[in-house]
Structure 1
Amino acid sequence: MPERELAQHLDVGRPLLREVMKSLAMLGFLNVRQGSGTYIAKADIRVLSDFFTFCLSQEQDVLEDVMQARMAIECQAIRLACERANEADLARIGQWLGTLIDTLTDPEAGGRADFMFHQSIVAASHSRALTTLYGAMAELLQRSHVQRRVTTYRNPEIVRVLVDAHREVFLSIVAKDPDQADRRLREHFAIGDELRRRSLIETYRGAPAKQIN
């Protein structure tokens, strides 16, 4: 449809229409081809992820909110993974479990391995909707994993529980037991949150008080 007709159809001015079209093209929603026309572009998860990250980053306490969404997605994904995961999926999850164990003293690499372990579980669900939603939160989730590792990697109790919890989650997928997998994953989230809270309390209790002049 020509620009003039589209502007009349939408009841907007042509300058405004041009600006909107330009913005949509910059976001990747439209594909402008010189001499041919403007077409709706193929959906790109990176665009959704960037948009999602930008919007949520404006909110306070966003990571806690994202964690709740993450739990909802992963708990459904792990049930599907127990039914649908193939040998390649299991190998990938196991590989990231091994990397997670090898990087326990490195918050950056360990946080990424932790994120990739969980992302591989979601991918093993073979659910396009769940993987798309999870992918849209990927940057925020990976940031959360790294931040949590920074506050906990020196605590041997948390490290031990971290390894045991991830191993049990993996084994429950291998066993194709969705109820156990769901339970192990929820326990992992709950225990991890409790240990992180205790670690923060111990850290602040052990910090020297500021001198009062």
Structure 2
Amino acid sequence: MATMLAENNDLSGAEKVFAFFRNALVDGTLKAGERLLGERELSLKLGVSRPLLREALRSLAMLGFLDIQHGRGAFVKKADISVLSDFFTFSLAQQPDILDDVMEARIAIECQAIRIACDRASETDLKRIGSKLSRLMDTLNDPVEGGAADFAFHQAIVEASRSEALITLYGAIGDLLRRSHVQRREVTVMEPGIVDYLVEAHREVFLSIVDRNPDVADRKLREHFAIGDEFRRRSLISAFARRPAT
């Protein structure tokens, strides 16, 4: 990021600005809505030139972390998850087989989230998950709508954990996860037994949260992932078997 701001001899100065902002957020010195020190005072405090400071603050504003108001100064903004999601999408999308890799991250996040959700989920959270399950059942034969509904169901579980870290990480890879759900549905939509499996697997996952049993919830979710992968594998084998020889 710093290379966009200045020449090589200014990199350490730009890094000072980013480090100051990051550390102030982490230790609670700065919070959303608070105003940064004035440009002159902040440049002296950090030992950087005012032009470099200006460029660094502009970059932070472009990333959605600051709101620079002419004549008033720079104010801390609540981070927009869509910015982080874009960053992850751009960074990860260039890797081969990225959807399989993201699936591994998804399993790690969701299995921890569902255990926490068994303890923390409110009645409102349970109703939300239930409504997502109903939508999933209404779109079983539509890969696009069904994939989106499937993603929304799992996202609601993560949100029910009320863990900001898990919710943020899940949201950061949300675009890739949604695409993965749709692609998997497109591959398996014609597989015998897939509709019954989707209904029963998601219903069991939901009921395990309602029963507030983290061990059962974790096991049901892992079984869901494993069986889903088996359906996908069988579908791919069938697709290749149907191809005419060349």
State TM-score, norm by structure 1.
Answer: 0.90
Aligned-pair distance for 1:19?
A: 3.4
User: Using the alignment, how far apart are the partners of 2:159 and 2:77 within structure 1?
Assistant: 24
Is 1:149 aligned with 2:169?
A: no
For residues 2-37 of structure 1, what are the alpha-carbon distances to aligned partners after superposition, in whole Å with 9 as ceiling and x for unaligned? 546655665666554443332221111221110112
Whole-angstrom CA distance in 2 between matches of 1:201 and 1:90: 37
Counterparts of 1:123-162 in structure 2, within 5 Å, are 123-162=159-198
Correspondence 1:25 to 2:66: no
Q: Please give the per-residue CA displacement for 1:119-160, whole angstroms capped at 9, x wherever unaligned.
A: 111111121221111111111111110111111111132222
**2:23 paired residue number:** none
Amino acid at match of 1:79: R
User: 1:200 is matched by which residue type in structure 2?
Assistant: L
SS in 2 for 1:156: coil
Structure 1, 182-191 or 29-38: larger mean CA deviation: 29-38
Q: Which residue of 2 aligns with 1:75?
A: 111
> Matches of 1:65 and 1:209 in 2, distance apart?
32
Provide the secondary structure at the position in 1 that maps to 2:157.
helix
Query: In structure 2, what is the Cα distance between the partners aligned to 1:8 and 1:145?
Result: 51
- The match for 1:63 among 99, 121, 128 is 99
Q: Which runs of 5+ in 2 are unaligned?
A: 1-36
Cα distance in 1, alignment partners of residues 47 and 241 from structure 2: 63
Residue 67 of structure 1: how far off its partner (Å): 0.9
The 5 A counterparts of 1:117-196 are 117-196=153-232
Distance 2:165 2:91 in 1: 20
CA displacement at 1:165 relative to structure 2: 0.9
- Aligned equivalent of 2:90, options 54, 74, 89: 54
- Code of the residue aligned with 1:61 in structure 2: it is D
Residue 142 of structure 2 corresponds to which residue in structure 1? 106
Distance 1:5 1:176, change over 3 A: closer
Letter paired with 1:74: E
- Indicate the larger mover: 190-199 or 14-23: 14-23
- Hey, what's the Cα distance between the residues in 1 that align with 2:42 and 2:210? 55
The answer to whether the 8 A contact 2:191-2:231 is kept is no
CA contact 2:209–2:217 (8 Å) conserved in 1: yes
- The gaps in structure 1 that reach 5 residues or longer are none
Distance 1:5 1:172 in 2: 56
Larger mean Cα displacement after TM superposition, 51-60 or 89-98: 51-60
TM-score (norm 2): 0.78
Deviations 1:178-210 (A, max 9, x none): 111100000000111111011101101111234
Q: Percent identity?
A: 65
Matched, 1:37 2:76: no
The answer as to whether partners of 2:113 and 2:166 remain within 8 angstroms in 1 is yes
Alignment CA distance shift 1:128-1:106 (3 Å): same
User: Cα RMSD (Å) of the superposition?
Assistant: 1.9
Distance 2:92 2:222 in 1: 24
Paired AA for residue 189 in structure 2: Y
Does the 8 Å CA contact 2:126/2:210 hold for their aligned counterparts? Answer: yes
CA distance in 1, matches of 2:39, 2:131: 53
